Amino acid sequence: MKRQTIVAMAILAVSLAALYWVAWRVSAAAPPLDLRAFWASARLLRTAPYDRAAVAAVQQALPGGASHGRASQDMASRDVLMMRNPPWVLPLVWPLGLLSYPAASAWMLLLNLCLVLGCAVWLWLQFGGGDYLEPLAAGMTFAPAVWLLRTGQLTALLLLGLALLLWGLRRQRDMAAGIGLALLSLKPHLVLPLLLVVALQAARQRRHALLVVPLGVVAVLSGVVFWANPGVGAQYVHLMTTLHQENYFYHSLGSWLELETGSRALGMVPTLVGLAVTGVWWRRRRALPLAALLPGLVLLSIASSYYVFDYDHVLLLVPVLAGLRSSRWRWVLAAGGLMNVFVWVQAVYGARLGLPQTLPAWEGLGWLLACLPVLQPELEADRPVASAEAALG
């Protein structure tokens, strides 16, 4: 092993250790909001991971309690942060429950950071980029990625799933692509149009592994969690059937419509429109390789999703990086940069500036406009040599 490699690995190890220590210290005073839900459910995996009262009791011991300082135990049981992912996700978060909360928070920060930056580089290379500087800069300054690190959410695993799916599709490795699809099942509501097109394309081309592998992975994970807790299915159904009583605002056009009209049916209209638009878009381009369509599918999926937050927009790194490698990279660089600034301003200074609290509902549409070039996919042979690399270095 070269001396430079050893030095680089030592510096990386020291840096990660220092970051772990900082995260461990910070989590004691200001724990990531969403991570507490996964941590509590992991600790209750064998008993009641989806029970509000049980999860609230576990979260009460954390800084800020289960409901951000509310004194009422009844209020805490209603407003407690719950894990809403399906039961087959529980085996993946179970290791968090073996750790103290500060340790789990620190490890989750490191994992998400490595996944975001690693996937950004991997995607950039798959889109034909050569220098690591551009994807690392994009990953470190992308506003949704920062919110992801702050909350301790699981969306970075879906970003890994998309990168693996793209890699498998480009190299005809359907087993790897299927594992990537299995990772997308952690939050399937974010990528419904994408999953629909992949299923149709797989059936059309008789690529059965794209269907069998993710279903097999989900079946194995479900078997593990039902073996550990036979009642977990009923608990999850009860939780999801009572969510309609909560008055949450999700960062989507659908949630905005529901909030304005009081109709859940109208709230689902953008998702249905997104599915229809995706179907028409795919039908006109189904002769193209599925890998070439993936960035556009991600873009349409996030823009039309009903249940989505700022940190889930980290998946838009896929169309952003693809757009920066297209012939219209200047549009993506300018419009995407403005969208990134807009997200930062409304999130950090929105209250001071008196901006509407429902403004994030329009972020998906904004990113759709910023990444429009990916809806006209180009094959690698058609791409010009000039790209964002010329502007960034």
Per-residue pLDDT of 275-302, as tens digits, reads 999 989 988 888 888 899 999 999 999 9
For residue 248, is pLDDT > 70?
Answer: no
pLDDT band at 350 (very low <50, low <70, confident <90, very high): confident
pLDDT at 2: 66
Side-chain half-sphere of 58: how many Cα atoms within 13 Å?
Answer: 24
pLDDT band at 379 (very low <50, low <70, confident <90, very high): low
Cα-Cα end-to-end distance for the chain: 30
Closest to 361 in 3D by CA, of 290, 280, 260: 260
- What mean pLDDT do residues 20-29 have? 61
Per-residue pLDDT of 198-231, as tens digits, reads 998 888 888 889 999 999 999 999 999 999 999 9
Cβ atoms of residues 136 and 121 within 8 Å? yes
d(CA 205, CA 290) in angstroms, rounded, equals 11
pLDDT at 294: 94
Q: How far is CA 72 from the centre of its chain?
A: 33
SS (H, E, C) 226-259: HHHCCCHHHHHHHHHHCHHHCCCCCCCHHHHHHH
Higher-confidence position of 27 and 172: 172
pLDDT band at 258 (very low <50, low <70, confident <90, very high): confident
For residue 107, is pLDDT > 90?
Answer: no
For residue 114, is pLDDT > 60?
Answer: yes
pLDDT at 311: 92
Side-chain half-sphere of 47: how many Cα atoms within 13 Å?
Answer: 10
For residue 134, is pLDDT > 50?
Answer: yes
- What mean pLDDT do residues 26-36 have? 67
50-64, 135-149, 301-315, 328-342: least confidently modelled range: 50-64
Q: Which residues, in sequence order, are CB contacts of 43 under 8 Å at separation 6+?
A: 58, 97
For residue 61, is pLDDT > 90?
Answer: no
d(CA 41, CA 63) in angstroms, rounded, equals 17
For residue 175, is pLDDT > 80?
Answer: yes
Q: How far is CA 71 from the centre of its chain?
A: 32
d(CA 31, CA 130) in angstroms, rounded, equals 38
For residue 119, is pLDDT > 70?
Answer: yes
> Which 8-state DSSP code applies to residue 133?
H
Per-residue pLDDT of 307-345, as tens digits, reads 899 899 999 999 999 999 888 888 998 998 899 888 888
pLDDT at 357: 79
pLDDT at 12: 62
d(CA 162, CA 195) in angstroms, rounded, equals 11
d(CA 24, CA 240) in angstroms, rounded, equals 32
Cβ atoms of residues 27 and 33 within 8 Å? no
pLDDT at 146: 85
